[in-house]
Amino acid sequence: MEHTNRPDAFSVSQLNEYIKMLLEGNPNLRDVWVQGEISGAKLYASGHLYFSLKDTDSVISAVMFKNSMMRMEFEPENGMKVLAHGRVSAYPPRGQYQFIADRMIPDGAGALAVAFEQLKARLGAEGLFDPARKRPLPAHPRRIGVVTSPSGAAVHDIIRVAKKRCPSTEILIFPSLVQGAEAPAYLRGGIQYFNAVKDDPEQGVDLIIIGRGGGSAEDLWGFNDERLARTVAASEIPVVSAVGHEVDFTICDFVADLRAATPSAAAELSLPDKEDLSRQVSALATRLTGAQLTRLRRHRTRLEQLSASKVLTSPEGVYRLRREMVTALEKRLNLSVSRHLGNKRRSLERVTASLGALNPLAVLSRGYALVQTEEGTVIPAAAELRVGDRVSLRFADGSARVRVEEIMADGRE
């Protein structure tokens, strides 16, 4: 009978841990993309998403942890085809290997459409598409920044239209990827760069055009990136989105200040036509010339009127007229002054007469006398005198000192 105690035997846990180490140690399985359809998706309260990825022949268990789920730009649904990036690992307690996803993008027209509508509804609810927050484009931009591929047809279309419509406007190109998983980061970088140098006299632009030529929904998917949409919305410089053809719509189109059907249309909408400007200048010049001629005619008529006035044709007559007016004014002034002085004189005489009537000395001139003590105090009644008092009698023309010999009251001694 074979001995059951083998020192080289693995325990179940050791075997599962060893398999996990092999899987996680394989560089080809640490950075892998997997294409498949989501099934059995369940989002737990912890924020982790557990699901399976399957194709017609196989299925693999998968998980996306909370920190990765927080960066998701759409809500994974059962039946949705996706491209998932991550690593292959194992779960030793159950002896199962699994795919740990850290990123996921829709794959196929149906999945892309679902993800597109989800993001569009969420950003729309936040007000990012509100026309009230969109800014008008500058009427005459001196410099335009273009965020696109430097080798694509879009940049050549924009430059061609710009040279034709307004050659004086400068075009600055920010080279960017416009397709693939890395495109959104490049596109965001272009918007952020032009905003960072907006006050630079050499690099500052008045308008930004972001876009690319046509392609499949997968090719244009980079312009549906949520972080790119928020970067466009936060731009202090107006942004024109020109992605694909007229029938193509992206999230970037909705959040931009203006959506153009094509890159060529973006240049046409952003730049004034030099021929239109020339016609406007000609019309303004005609209006200015007409206004100046009208003003000159008005001034000439006024000058003719002034030159025919008497002050120029017969200045001596104007002088005589003015002299006569001054003489008449002088007479009126003298008469007014004389009347005024007469009125004041008569008023003064009335006041003087009133004051004279109240003057006690005027009574003395009619034969009366004023009796005072030697100290000058007036004695108004005989009862205040005593025999032997010395008093002063004040007359109109002088005074006399007397001594009281006798006092009589009411006609009696």
The CATH number assigned to the domain holding 249 equals 3.40.50.2300
CATH of the domain at 52: 2.40.50.140
> Is there a single domain that holds both residue 171 and residue 209?
yes
> Strand, helix or coil at 129?
coil
CB atoms closer than 10 angstroms to residue 384 = 13
Domain that holds residue 395: 363-403
Write the CB contacts of 191 (distance below 8 Å, at least 6 apart in sequence).
147, 208, 210, 228, 231, 232, 235, 239
Cα dihedral 152/155/157/161 (nearest 10): -170
| 327 located within any domain | no
Is residue 186 domain-shared with residue 263, that is, in the same domain? yes
pTM of the entire predicted model: 0.54
Strand order in the sheet with 239-243: 170-175, 143-148, 207-212, 239-243, 258-259
Number of domains in the chain: 4
In order of 120, 177, 192, the CA distances from 186 in angstroms are 22, 6, 10
* Domain assignment present for 243: yes
| Shared domain check, 249 and 284 | no
Q: Is residue 114 part of a domain?
A: no
Pair 149, 252 in one domain: yes
Sign of the CA dihedral 356, 358, 364, 365? Answer: positive
Is residue 120 in a domain? no
pLDDT in tens, the chain (413 residues): 555 667 778 788 888 888 888 888 888 888 899 989 889 899 999 999 999 999 888 999 999 999 998 888 778 888 888 889 999 988 888 888 899 999 888 887 677 788 888 889 989 999 999 999 999 999 899 999 999 999 989 999 999 999 999 888 999 999 999 998 899 999 999 999 999 999 999 999 999 999 999 888 888 989 999 999 999 999 999 999 999 888 888 999 999 999 999 999 999 999 987 666 667 777 788 788 888 888 888 888 888 787 777 666 677 776 777 888 888 888 898 988 888 888 888 888 888 777 766 666 666 777 778 888 888 888 888 888 888 888 888 887 888 888 888 888 765 44
Whether 298 contacts 291, CB under 8 Å: no
Q: What is the pLDDT of residue 128?
A: 94
In a domain, 6, yes or no: no
Please check whether residues 238 and 298 belong to one and the same domain. Answer: no
Could you tell me the two tokens for 100? 């740990």
* 268 and 132 belong to one structural domain: yes
pLDDT of residue 413: 47
Q: Are residues 279 and 267 in the same domain?
A: no
Contacts of 302 (CB under 8 A, 6+ apart): none
Check whether residue 44 and residue 26 sit in a common domain: yes
- What pLDDT, on a 0 to 100 scale, did the predictor assign at position 183? 93
In this predicted structure, what is the pLDDT of residue 53? 93
What is the pLDDT, as a whole number, of residue 410?
64
3-state SS assignment for residue 267: helix
142 and 86 share one domain = no
Whether residue 224 is found in the same domain as residue 201: yes
Largest CA distance in the chain: 188
Quickly count: other Cβ atoms within 10 Å of residue 335's Cβ.
10
Residues 249 and 374 both lie in one domain: no
Instruction: Assess if residue 317 is contained within a domain.
Output: no
The residues facing 412 across adjacent strands are 409
- Please return the burial class of 359, using the count of CB atoms within 10 Å of its CB with bins 0-12, 13-18 and 19+: exposed
Q: 283 with 264, same domain?
A: no
DSSP 8-state secondary structure symbol assigned to residue 83:
E
